[in-house]
Amino acid sequence: MILLYITIGLFILYSILIIYYWLAWRSVPFFIPPGPMANTRISVIIAARNEEANISRLLEAMQAQTYPKAFFETIVVDDHSTDGTAAIVREFPTVRLMNVKEDNINSYKKKAIETGIGAATGDWIITTDADCLPSPRWLETMAAFKENKQAVFVAAPVVIECNSSVLQLFQAMDFMVLQGITGASVHKKIHAMCNGANLGYERNAFKDVNGFSGIDQIASGDDMLLMHKIWKKYPQRIHYLKSKEAIVSTQPVKSWREFFSQRIRWASKARSYDDKSILPVLLLVYLFNLSFVVLLVACCCSALGKPPATEEFSSWWVFILGLWIAKTLIELPFFYSVAKFFDKSWAVFYFFFFQPLHIFYTIGSGLLGQLGKYRWKGRTVK
């Protein structure tokens, strides 16, 4: 009974959290760019490593931007690529190509971004990844929002492209939830969340907080950890841009191994958060998902030496199934609202069935993210 009461308590707290995120996401105002205008000089920084399959598509999208060409520059920083990435970049004469010279460091991406910022001429830094694709009005919308809000840091929406495979569907759905939490959290200013595939910040703000100094030894966190540093100095000038014109799409990883490595990399930032407000949230989410495993273990233990049809054994399964359904129902309005914004409302039909996978992946990646090393982009990092 103690286990059941603890689980119910966790569920109540989790439900309050999800409802809060849902209402907060809905309260984020849509931003509609007013039309072509150019008052901000922009430097787009793209850190790239072995991206010959994707980089040309992104650079063509940069050429198609509606923002005046004289007001933005594109800088690709090659991070020790061993394929044809650099050669492809050189085919675009308006793109500046730079290289990460340092080796044997733990955060190559931060060094790549830092290298790009050091050479940038724009007042507003926008970062994206080499496997991303923005809409033609991306820079126009980002600049207009920055000017409208007088922002020093803007977190903007990212969506994962997907086909009908289980792996890609699950990635896209899981990522949409993270995006919804990001928008809700930033709008309500409760904790710092963003994704490096689509964010912008003032170059002077980057310098004011000494850039990545203090977090440069951490492999991940070129986005959220930097955001929190800037947040502490400019708490009222951090904003989330909710606009379809600002959405950047990114590629899914191609294997379950890559997927878990990516999520472990993201989870590894948790032990380095200076933003303590997010830690109770992470703990609550982790413990609630862990409660499903604990319940399954308790169910199996109750069945030892007893026939499967016993009343106690059946009661455990009924409770677990009921909790599964209750979790789905609580999360569904929030998920639908976010999926609708990203034009992926169809994903709701898969939501219930992906719950067990999401529960076990949350537990696994959360645990492994705190234990040490993982592989990413062909490197073992910690």
Contacts of 353 (CB under 8 A, 6+ apart): none
Mean pLDDT of 18-47: 91
Q: Are 85 and 123 in the same domain?
A: yes
Domain assignment of residue 382, yes or no: no
Residue 312, pLDDT above cutoff 80:
no
Domain assignment of residue 28, yes or no: no
Q: Are 228 and 133 in the same domain?
A: yes
Query: What are the C-alpha distances in Å from 102 to residues 79, 109, 125?
Result: 9, 11, 22
pLDDT, greater one: 368 or 323: 323
> Where residue 261 sits, what CATH number does that domain have?
3.90.550.10
Residues 59 and 36: their CA atoms lie apart, in Å, by: 21
Count of residues making up the chain: 382
Q: Are 221 and 322 in the same domain?
A: no
Q: Output the DSSP codes for 303-334.
A: TTTS-TT-HHHHHHHHHHHHHHHHHHHHHHHH
Note the pLDDT of residue 364: 82
On whether the CB atoms of residues 286 and 294 are closer than 8 A, the answer is: no
Nearest to 368 by CA among 272, 281, 268, 256: 268
Confidence grade of residue 380 (pLDDT, cut at 50, 70, 90):
low
Note the pLDDT of residue 371: 65
Confidence grade of residue 270 (pLDDT, cut at 50, 70, 90):
low
Q: Are 242 and 293 in the same domain?
A: no
Q: Are 172 and 290 in the same domain?
A: no
Nearest to 332 by CA among 200, 180, 147: 180
Q: Are 264 and 359 in the same domain?
A: no
Domain assignment of residue 111, yes or no: yes
Domain assignment of residue 245, yes or no: yes
Nearest to 337 by CA among 11, 32, 28, 33: 28
Note the pLDDT of residue 28: 96
Residues 260 and 289: their CA atoms lie apart, in Å, by: 17
Number of domains composing the chain? 2
Q: Are 195 and 171 in the same domain?
A: yes
pLDDT, greater one: 371 or 84: 84
Mean pLDDT of 23-30: 96
Q: Are 207 and 286 in the same domain?
A: no
Note the pLDDT of residue 171: 93
Q: Does residue 127 sit in helix, strand or coil?
A: strand
What mean pLDDT is reported for the chain? 88
Q: Are 237 and 95 in the same domain?
A: yes
Distance of CA 29 to the CA centre of its chain: 20
Residue 309, pLDDT above cutoff 60:
no
Confidence grade of residue 299 (pLDDT, cut at 50, 70, 90):
confident
Q: Are 93 and 203 in the same domain?
A: yes
Domain assignment of residue 113, yes or no: yes
How is the beta sheet containing 153-155 ordered, strand by strand? 95-99, 72-78, 42-48, 124-129, 199-202, 153-155, 238-240
pLDDT, greater one: 346 or 267: 346
Residue 370, pLDDT above cutoff 90:
no
Lowest-confidence region among 93-97, 213-217, 340-344: 213-217
Domain boundary among 209, 235, 269: 269
Confidence grade of residue 310 (pLDDT, cut at 50, 70, 90):
low
Tens of pLDDT, residue by residue over 160-201, are 998 889 999 999 999 999 999 999 999 999 988 999 999 999
Mean pLDDT of 107-116: 90
Mean pLDDT of 327-356: 94
Domain boundary among 269, 300, 322: 269
Residues 10 and 292: their CA atoms lie apart, in Å, by: 11
Q: Are 55 and 6 in the same domain?
A: no
Kindly state the tokens that stand for 129.
């990844």
Domain assignment of residue 381, yes or no: no
Mean pLDDT of 317-340: 93
Confidence grade of residue 300 (pLDDT, cut at 50, 70, 90):
confident
Q: Are 326 and 188 in the same domain?
A: no
Domain boundary among 216, 244, 269: 269
Lowest-confidence region among 11-20, 30-39, 196-205: 30-39
Residues 19 and 22: their CA atoms lie apart, in Å, by: 5
Tens of pLDDT, residue by residue over 61-106, are 999 999 999 999 999 999 989 999 999 999 999 999 999 988 767 6
Domain assignment of residue 178, yes or no: yes
Confidence grade of residue 204 (pLDDT, cut at 50, 70, 90):
very high
Note the pLDDT of residue 149: 93
Share of the chain above pLDDT 70, in %: 89
Q: 68 is in which domain, residue-wise?
A: 33-269
Q: Does residue 194 sit in helix, strand or coil?
A: coil
Kindly state the tokens that stand for 353.
């069935």
Domain assignment of residue 110, yes or no: yes
Confidence grade of residue 304 (pLDDT, cut at 50, 70, 90):
low
How is the beta sheet containing 132-134 ordered, strand by strand? 132-134, 248-250, 158-160
Residue 374, pLDDT above cutoff 80:
no
